[in-house]
């Protein structure tokens, strides 16, 4: 890009300065954002200077391509910088539309709401737009309490619904809650898949809502057969609203518009996010029935009691509409199902050859690879050391070399032994095959306990234990 083009396209010089200061990216983040995250990226070798992204790939300053099986936790579900979404946003900006979301309704908001409702069970016809998934969860919590007059909210152990204070009160992992209490009163959790435990909690007829992911996103745990339909029936019987958190599974991720279609569910709420953004704009939504909406905030004097400053902004609404139309135009539901099968079959074949893979869990293009303890004595010693240092460190045995040696971005799912895959819905068969070949090579390299990959993760574990020991001593 020549200087004249930069000046013409960047009148305030923001992009020109950003390009000139690109080498300061991590230093600025460490100084003003989150130095701990910068440190973690360095430890894992993820401290790359990415300069551009397109489709399934990120590109660093040296021109190396990285196949992205993370996509910002599914945020870039159409791949990076999808041209049709970008062109829609550019056209929307050029139109000079009114964007005072608090004082008027844009037709774009109504169009996107209608498009979502058309793809959900018939009773779901009232939409509230937010800027983030956690805000959509929080809205459902408020609406459920207001509509039922009940105080309690129920979720599942190991579930994840966001880290703002309300949704955090529903999260099933105490690790995320440490230091942030006291949390919202009246929240409890039950084991995912345990109908008896659910019924015991519901039997007091004081639970406003049961909020559950159809597939638990952090570990890609699928529900036992019949669980969700039975949970829905129990909620109906006890007057509890049934809320499906599809922020990660919605809009094509499972090869369907929504995961609920697999089980024929008709919930009282569906929560949407991540993919609705098109990879560009913060966008999420709470969808419920008109009756629940009216009972919660429908009176004239209550029309302002629950609002979101940017929730219906024109660019977010345009991005959401573009996402839905691209998915339809390019038949991405079919592609997600087809390439998802290819990945699952390929992973099962790798599992048959590598003992370190304990289990494969997959639905469309949300996939969990759970690792297990190796069989050799020396490798088991290393395995125990790594787990002593951190419950979420062991998957880095695979994640680090995939990135370092093969240019593939994956992620450890948290404080567990799961590698989570969320590739774009646009993923090609060739890209899927390339990933499987890279993973196969890494698994082969990990067979011996003395391999380089074991040494890297063992060194991280040892350093972690030393830091912990020094901290305890002071």
Same domain (yes/no): 340, 312: no
- pLDDT per residue over 271-315, tens digit each? 999 999 999 999 999 999 999 999 999 888 887 788 888 889 999
What's 254's domain CATH number? 3.40.640.10
450 — pLDDT class (breaks 50, 70, 90)? low
Q: Is the pLDDT of residue 135 over 70?
A: yes
C-alpha triplet 208, 183, 301: angle, nearest 5°: 50
Domain-located, residue 179: yes
**Which has the closest alpha carbon to 56: 408, 316, 420, 438?**
408
472 — pLDDT class (breaks 50, 70, 90)? low
Domain-located, residue 20: no
Whole-angstrom distance, CA of residue 236 vs CA of residue 395: 40
- pLDDT per residue over 413-422, tens digit each? 888 899 999 9
Query: Which of 7-11, 89-93, 116-120 shows the lowest mean pLDDT across its residues?
Result: 7-11
Same domain (yes/no): 194, 312: yes
Max avg pLDDT among 17-31, 96-110, 139-153: 139-153
Whole-angstrom distance, CA of residue 460 vs CA of residue 33: 24
Same domain (yes/no): 227, 112: yes
Other CB atoms within a 10 A radius of the CB of residue 310 amount to 17
Domain-located, residue 26: no
Give the per-residue pLDDT at 100: 73
Q: Is the pLDDT of residue 163 over 60?
A: yes
Tokens encoding 103: 């004082």
Q: Quick one: what percent of the chain has pLDDT higher than 70?
A: 97
Same domain (yes/no): 342, 462: yes
Q: Is the pLDDT of residue 338 over 60?
A: yes
Whole-angstrom distance, CA of residue 269 vs CA of residue 140: 7
**Rounded mean pLDDT of 82-96?**
96
Domain-located, residue 22: no
Other CB atoms within a 10 A radius of the CB of residue 455 amount to 12
Q: Is the pLDDT of residue 2 over 60?
A: no
Whole-angstrom distance, CA of residue 372 vs CA of residue 46: 24
C-beta separation of 461 from 389 below 8 A: yes
C-beta separation of 336 from 425 below 8 A: yes
Q: Is the pLDDT of residue 331 over 80?
A: yes
Same domain (yes/no): 410, 325: no
Same domain (yes/no): 384, 295: no
Query: Which of 224-228, 422-426, 469-473 shows the lowest mean pLDDT across its residues?
Result: 469-473
Same domain (yes/no): 243, 120: yes
Give the per-residue pLDDT at 175: 86
Q: How many folded domains does the chain comprise?
A: 2
Same domain (yes/no): 316, 350: no
Max avg pLDDT among 25-39, 135-149, 365-379: 135-149
**Which has the closest alpha carbon to 55: 424, 432, 338, 438?**
424
Same domain (yes/no): 60, 120: no
Cβ contacts of 123 within 8 Å, gap of 6 or more: 266, 289
pTM tops 0.95: no
Whole-angstrom distance, CA of residue 31 vs CA of residue 26: 8
Of residues 394 and 55, which shows the higher confidence score?
55
Q: How far is CA 396 from CA 67, 69, 164, 414, 450, in A?
A: 17, 15, 28, 11, 16
- Domain boundary residue, one of 294, 329, 364: 329
- Domain boundary residue, one of 329, 354, 376: 329
- pLDDT per residue over 169-178, tens digit each? 999 888 889 9
Same domain (yes/no): 73, 89: no
Same domain (yes/no): 342, 204: no
**Rounded mean pLDDT of 59-88?**
96
Q: Is the pLDDT of residue 3 over 50?
A: no
C-alpha triplet 416, 431, 213: angle, nearest 5°: 40
**Which has the closest alpha carbon to 77: 270, 263, 365, 275?**
275
Burial of 223 (0-12, 13-18, 19+ CB in 10 A): buried
**Rounded mean pLDDT of 96-124?**
91
Give the per-residue pLDDT at 1: 38
Is the Cα dihedral 183, 32, 14, 23 positive or negative? negative
Give the per-residue pLDDT at 5: 41
**Rounded mean pLDDT of 229-242?**
98
Give the per-residue pLDDT at 184: 95
Same domain (yes/no): 345, 413: yes
Domain-located, residue 7: no
Other CB atoms within a 10 A radius of the CB of residue 235 amount to 22
Q: Is the pLDDT of residue 7 over 50?
A: no
- pLDDT per residue over 187-219, tens digit each? 999 999 999 999 999 999 999 999 999 999 999
Domain-located, residue 211: yes
Of residues 447 and 277, which shows the higher confidence score?
277
Domain-located, residue 157: yes
373 — pLDDT class (breaks 50, 70, 90)? confident
Domain-located, residue 2: no
Q: Is the pLDDT of residue 229 over 80?
A: yes
Q: Is the pLDDT of residue 474 over 70?
A: no
113 — pLDDT class (breaks 50, 70, 90)? very high
Whole-angstrom distance, CA of residue 281 vs CA of residue 314: 10
Give the per-residue pLDDT at 64: 95
Q: Is the pLDDT of residue 389 over 90?
A: no
- Sheet (strand 57-60) strand order: 50-54, 57-60, 65-68, 408-409
Give the per-residue pLDDT at 8: 54
What's 55's domain CATH number? 3.90.1150.10
Q: The domain containing residue 110 runs over which residues?
A: 85-329
Whole-angstrom distance, CA of residue 173 vs CA of residue 171: 6
């Amino acid at each position: 890009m020549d200087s004249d083009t930069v000046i013409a396209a960047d009148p305030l010089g923001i992009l020109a300065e950003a390009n000139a200061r690109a080498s300061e990216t991590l230093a600025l983040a460490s100084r003003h954002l989150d130095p701990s995250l910068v440190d973690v990226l360095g430890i894992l070798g993820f401290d790359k200077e990415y300069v551009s992204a397109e489709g399934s790939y990120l590109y660093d300053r040296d021109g190396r391509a990285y196949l992205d099986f993370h996509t910002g936790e599914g945020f870039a579900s159409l791949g990076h910088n999808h041209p049709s979404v970008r062109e829609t946003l550019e056209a929307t900006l050029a139109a000079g539309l009114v964007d005072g979301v608090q004082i008027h309704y844009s037709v774009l908001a109504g169009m996107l709401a209608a498009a979502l409702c058309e793809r959900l069970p018939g009773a779901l016809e009232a939409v509230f737009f937010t800027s983030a998934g956690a805000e959509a969860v929080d809205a459902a919590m408020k609406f459920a309490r207001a509509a039922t007059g009940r105080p309690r909210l129920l979720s599942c152990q190991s579930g994840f619904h966001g880290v703002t204070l309300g949704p955090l009160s529903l999260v099933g992992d105490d690790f995320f809650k440490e230091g942030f209490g006291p949390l919202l009163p009246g929240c409890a959790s039950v084991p995912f898949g345990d109908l008896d435990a659910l019924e015991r909690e519901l039997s007091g007829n004081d639970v406003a809502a049961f909020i559950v992911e159809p597939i638990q996103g952090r570990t890609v745990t699928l529900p036992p057969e019949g669980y969700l339909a039975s949970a829905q029936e129990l909620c109906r019987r006890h007057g509890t609203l049934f809320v499906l958190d599809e922020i990660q599974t919605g809009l094509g991720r499972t090869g369907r518009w929504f995961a609920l279609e697999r089980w024929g569910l008709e919930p009282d709420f569906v929560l949407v996010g991540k993919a609705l953004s098109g990879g560009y704009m913060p966008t999420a939504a709470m969808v419920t029935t008109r009756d629940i909406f009216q009972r919660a905030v429908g009176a004239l004097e209550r029309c302002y009691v629950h609002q979101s400053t940017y929730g219906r902004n024109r660019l977010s609404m345009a991005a959401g509409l573009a996402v839905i139309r691209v998915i339809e135009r390019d038949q991405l539901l079919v592609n997600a199902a087809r390439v998802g099968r290819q990945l699952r079959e390929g992973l099962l074949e790798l599992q048959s050859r590598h003992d370190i893979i304990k289990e494969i869990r997959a639905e469309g293009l949300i996939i969990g690879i759970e690792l297990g303890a190796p069989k050799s004595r020396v490798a088991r010693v290393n395995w125990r050391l790594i787990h002593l240092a951190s419950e979420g460190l062991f998957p880095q045995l695979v994640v680090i070399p995939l990135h370092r040696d093969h240019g593939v971005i994956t992620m450890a799912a948290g404080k567990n032994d799961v590698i989570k895959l969320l590739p774009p819905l646009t993923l090609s068969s060739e890209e899927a095959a390339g990933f499987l070949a890279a993973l196969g090579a890494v698994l082969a390299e990990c067979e011996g306990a003395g391999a380089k990959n074991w040494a890297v993760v063992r060194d991280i574990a040892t350093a972690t234990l030393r830091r912990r020991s020094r901290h305890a001593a002071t």
